[in-house]
Structure 1
Amino acid sequence: MTWRTCMTETQRGSHGDEQGLEALYGWLERAGAHHPKLRVIRLPGGERGVFTLADVAQGEVVLRVPRECLLTTGLARSSEIGRLLESHLEAESDELYLAAFLLQEKQREGSFWRPYLETLPASVPHSLLFLEERELQLLQGSAVLEELEARREMLHTQHALLRAHIPGWASLTATEFLWACVVVSSRNFGVKLRGNPVRCLAPLADMLNHKTSPDVHWGLSEDEESFEMVALKALPAGQEIHDSYGAKSNHRFLLHYGFVLEDNEHDELVVHLGIPEGDPWSATKQRLLELSSPSERRRFQSRLPYGHESTQEMFSFLRIACAEAEELSRLSVTPGASGGQVEPLSIANEERVLAALGAACEARLSGFDTSLEEDERLLAEEPSSRSVRNCILMRREEKRLLHAYAERVRTGARLLRKPWPELEQLAAGGGTGGGPLDDYAREGVLKAVRNDPWNRLERAARQGHHFGSVALGPRSKSKGPGR
């Protein structure tokens, strides 16, 4: 196949005009699709949304797309371009197969998928991959730039391989390839077909916008012959209906979908942590943490709730990285070898953990060109474009999370200096004062105090137990509370 530029063709048919949408509706209905109460409407600002034409009952199927109209990874792999990718590149990426299939079908005269292709967006200007350098400069200090660079490198490699090894694709431009990749990345659904995970593009379903509390849930029908969206609640006529794109961080939303959420409860702190420089037990810690070298710094993406798996993983890593010899000897599990949670080892260890985490947060904050207050002001002044707003909002939300973690460090450090009986009284009274950091105060600080060897001996002595010649003299100042 000889490659022809497809951007003009894409732009001509992708503005979401009524003619293109009516062709999509007709194509779907001829194949047996069901969506009598849904229509796509252009929103202020040029975006599209899916709205109800009539009242919808809870549990009602609002959209049914037959298998014939689902563009699945299996279909893409079995196509002409799919076979070429497998034989020439031994490609594994599902998204690459789907993107290449889109590009192939855009070239194919009389493609079955033409009505769907004609309604895909002409361009994706809000994707990080297409932002201008002056816009990317607004993200200075943001961890998303690291992810963007990795994604750019991967896609550049894939594009070069396609041009070099797929017959007829030597003239494929980077813009065309990136367009297809962004379309697939932002619109595909993950379903299970005959028990196997499958990625697919579902026409019309992929036009719903995101909301954290969605109006519908989706998946394959029981007989797996169609993709269905079912109303989670009653919906009045004339309302936009929303899907959920999943519990994702703002990094993922901006990188793959081109938007950022305010107050995203699933947002993640990104920090790089490692063994302290010059640590005398670095070799042991390197082995326990499965690092390639004592100087390696591991990247963590952790949510604010202390009980979340990602947060537990970060704290477990730090407790080993900051441990002294006696603390290392008392480890029952290690996060590297078993994936197990390392509970607080001692008061002094937890203080070192908090100090390391606080330093990492301060280092991240110092990398930004603006303060949190400046970002708040810029957002209040209504940025000049959606892309500019996305960048400012992204860095503001990162700073908010960094400040929240810094407050956790300060609160934890204060509580660790309290005598353990006082902390126990606070716990018995229902917490340590309330607030969003209370989960760490209970599960981190209190366990550090309870697990501290000195406090264990003191509690045992008060309960009448004896430990031979062990003396319960004054506590070393390095051991924590009581001062």
Structure 2
Amino acid sequence: KKAEPKAAWRTSPAMPLSDDDFQRRVEVLMKWLRKNGAKFPKVEMSRYADEGRDLRSTQPIKANEEIIYVPRKCIIEVQQGKECKIGRAVRNEAKGWVSGHTYLAIRMLTERDLGSKSFFAPWFSVLPTDYRAQGMPQYWSEEMKKEIAHTKTLAKANAVKASIEEMWGRISKVKAVRKSKWTIEDFAWARYTVLTRTFGVDMNGKEATVMVPLADMANHEFDRPSRWKYDDKKRGFVVKVVRDLGVGANLTDTYGSKGNDSFLPFYGFCIENNEFNQGRFSLPRQNINGVKVSFLSKLAVSRCAYEAEEDKVKHIDATSDTDASGSKRGGKELFSFVRALCLNEEEYRRVARLSLKNKTEHPVSVLNEIRALNQIKSAANRAIAKFETSIEEDEAILSDLTKAPKFSWYRNAVLARVGEKRTLQFYVNLADTMVRLLEQPSMKAVQSTKAYSLLRSADRCTEWGYYANKYFDKVVAPLVKKSEK
């Protein structure tokens, strides 16, 4: 029998959404948008589950056609949260930094308290009312959370929950907030509503975080057909498509180049084959050869790649793409740090003279790269050893739809943990293959090895075939050729 989630937070929405009147509420929302100047002649909103909504085309759409326009008056902005009565009180009285998402949540709750008198009432009436139904691990029971033990997914879910609780602790002491009678459950509902449906735009030359009705109902797809922006001239949010679409097309957006460790705690779902899944590598903070590397602690790790420190251990997260960084969440920061970690005295003197800000972004030497690969392999193996199930066992579970039904919390748990394991295993395999090739005296010797033949014959449409060959071409081949001279 499948365990039922026992929520630490229980939402208490003021405007519950029933199955019977969903369509009526959608019609009221569409009427409200049109009345206030919004345009979406070929778009409809549909419901596919208790708390699931999406956007569909009602007519054929041509590439570059504008499909949605929402005027600024219908948009909720951070500044509105700061300028409303409770927002002003928070700005004046709260101790410490208060996030933009919190001000958006304040604005949401202020409007929600007005009920049907709120200008935004038609929009609020179709928003999710219970985030337990969204499948986020923050609402899982402790027994359910065991399925994602030792994952960065669980760590991130706990961090999101803790962040919301911390921010609530900061603003709940403000007199106006206490007077509002809001609870942590109310605030959590508002924060999750904000978390799952904000857009980062450029508005009049300034970065802004906004919430946009209708456009916020688009589901995720990496290969989305839509593009959006805030149009200063039109004074509104516009959505266009980049390719021709037929009737009934799902008008998706992308929620970013994220792994399942982000999708699950932020949105409550996982992608079946997600190339942006990351593994977490726990590494020493000091050079393994005792070399005092002056720039080691200064090496930047992108916020997207994530970085944390615990005592003598540094955690770096990376996807299988060893050449990508930043928003692509790749392994460039991982290799840059580990190369510095493995420098010997001679290598350090050489790279220290470089004018580059990141002195180990590029390969240093054959021997340094071998040491770096072995260090990464060891970290990956340590992480894999913590899991109670193997990749093969997880894949067997996923292949049985009766055991792990599509979109179930259990399937999402397995997808999250196996995604991390696959990425860690990628680096183990990468080290095993590339160390063999780096140990060869020449490119001719490299090309005669079985490891090289297997690498070059790998399907380039797979993560291994594409990213491993990319690493060979950009790192291994140049190092071996240089060592020949």
Same-fold call, TM cutoff 0.5: yes
Deviation at 1:406, TM superposition (A): 1.1
Q: Which residue among 297, 305, 324 is the counterpart of 1:308? A: 324
The answer on 1:141 being equivalent to 2:163 is no
Q: Does 2:129 align with 1:98?
A: no
Preserved CA contact (<8 Å) 1:13 1:118: no
Which residue number in structure 2 is paired with residue 298 of structure 1?
Answer: 314
* Equivalent position amino acid for 1:338 in 2: K
Picking from 330, 343, 349, the partner of 1:323 is: 343
User: What is the CA–CA distance in structure 1 between the aligned matches of 2:234 and 2:445, rounded to whole Å?
Assistant: 56
Match for 2:389 among 365, 370, 374?
Answer: 370
> Higher mean Cα deviation, 57-66 or 7-16?
7-16
- SS of residue matched to 1:11: coil
The 5-angstrom pairing of residues 102-113 of structure 1 reads 102-109=108-115, 110-113=117-120
Change (3 A) 1:347 1:16: farther
Name the residue aligned to 2:136. 127
After TM superposition, the structure 1 = structure 2 runs for residues 317-396 of structure 1, keeping only pairs within 5 Å, are 317-332=337-352, 338-382=357-401, 383=404, 386-396=408-418
- Paired with 2:128 and 2:338, the residues of 1 have a C-alpha distance of 45
1:426 shift after superposition: 7.8
Query: Which deviates further from its counterpart, 270-279 or 214-223?
Result: 270-279
2: distance between equivalents of 1:397 and 1:215? 26
Name the % identity.
25
- Distance in 2 separating the partners of 1:430 and 1:388: 39
1:391 counterpart SS class: helix
In structure 2, the residue matched to 1:203 is 213
Query: 2: distance between equivalents of 1:226 and 1:127?
Result: 32
Question: TM-score w.r.t. structure 1 length?
Answer: 0.84
Q: Measured at CA, do residues 278 and 248 of structure 1 come closer, stay the same or move farther in structure 2, by a change above 3 Å?
A: closer
Q: 1:415 aligns with which of 429, 437, 441?
A: 437
- Of structures 1 and 2, the larger Rg is shown by 1
Q: Which residue of 1 aligns with 2:166?
A: 157
Equivalent position amino acid for 1:165 in 2: V
Task: Label 1:294 to 1:128 Cα distance change in 2 as closer, same or farther (>3 A).
Answer: closer
Moved more, 385-394 or 13-22: 13-22
Aligned match of 1:35 in 17, 29, 40? 40
Q: 1:218 aligns with which of 220, 225, 228?
A: 228
Residue 449 of structure 1 aligns with which residue? 480
Distance 1:223 1:251 in 2: 38
CA contact 1:6–1:107 (8 Å) conserved in 2? no
Aligned counterparts of 2:323 and 2:21: Cα–Cα separation in 1: 44
1:433 partner letter: R
Distance change >3 Å, CA 276–CA 447, structure 1 → 2:
farther
CA shift in 2, pair 1:139/1:54, >3 Å: same
Q: Which amino acid aligns with 2:346?
A: E
Equivalent residue number for residue 469 of structure 1: none
Would the alpha carbon gap of residues 16 and 276 (structure 1) be closer, same or farther in structure 2, given more than 3 Å must change?
A: farther
Q: Hey, what's the Cα distance between the residues in 2 that align with 1:333 and 1:129?
A: 48
| CA-CA distance at 1:381 after TM superposition | 2.2
> Which amino acid is 1:160 matched to?
G
Deviation, structure 1 residue 180: 1.1
Q: Which amino acid aligns with 1:349?
A: N
Task: Flag the 1:232–1:174 CA change in 2: closer, same or farther, 3 A.
Answer: same
Tell me the distance in 1 between the aligned counterparts of 2:166 and 2:398. 37
Q: What is aligned with 1:468?
A: none
Count of residues in Structure 1 that have an aligned counterpart in Structure 2: 446
The residue identity in structure 2 corresponding to 1:145 is: L
Instruction: Name which of 104, 116, 119 aligns with 2:123.
Output: 116
Residues 78, 209 of structure 2: 8 Å contact kept: yes
Amino acid at match of 1:196: K
Q: Is the 8 A contact 1:276 1:322 kept in 2?
A: no
Gaps of 5+ in 2: 1-9, 300-307, 458-464
Q: Closer, same or farther in 2 for the Cα pair 1:121/1:15, shift >3 Å?
A: farther
Q: CA RMSD in A?
A: 3.0
Residues 55-103 of structure 1, C-alpha deviations (whole Å, 9 max, x = no match):
2222221111111001111222222222122111264411111011111
3-state DSSP of counterpart to 1:154: helix
TM-score, length basis structure 2: 0.84
State the distance in 2 between where 1:46 and 1:52 align.
20
8 Å contact 2:219–2:252 — kept in the other structure?
Answer: yes
Bigger mean CA deviation after superposition, 125-134 or 165-174: 165-174
Specify every segment of 5 or more residues in structure 1 that has no aligned partner in the other structure, as ranges: 460-483
Deviates further, 153-162 or 22-31: 153-162
Q: CA deviation at 1:209?
A: 0.7
1:302–1:314 contact (8 Å) kept in structure 2: yes
Distance in 1, Cα, partners of 2:249 & 2:298: 52
1:36-51 map, 5 Å:
36-43=41-48, 47-51=52-56
Amino acid at match of 2:123: Y
Contact 1:71/1:202 (<8 A) preserved: yes
Q: Structure 1 counterpart of 2:318, which letter?
A: S
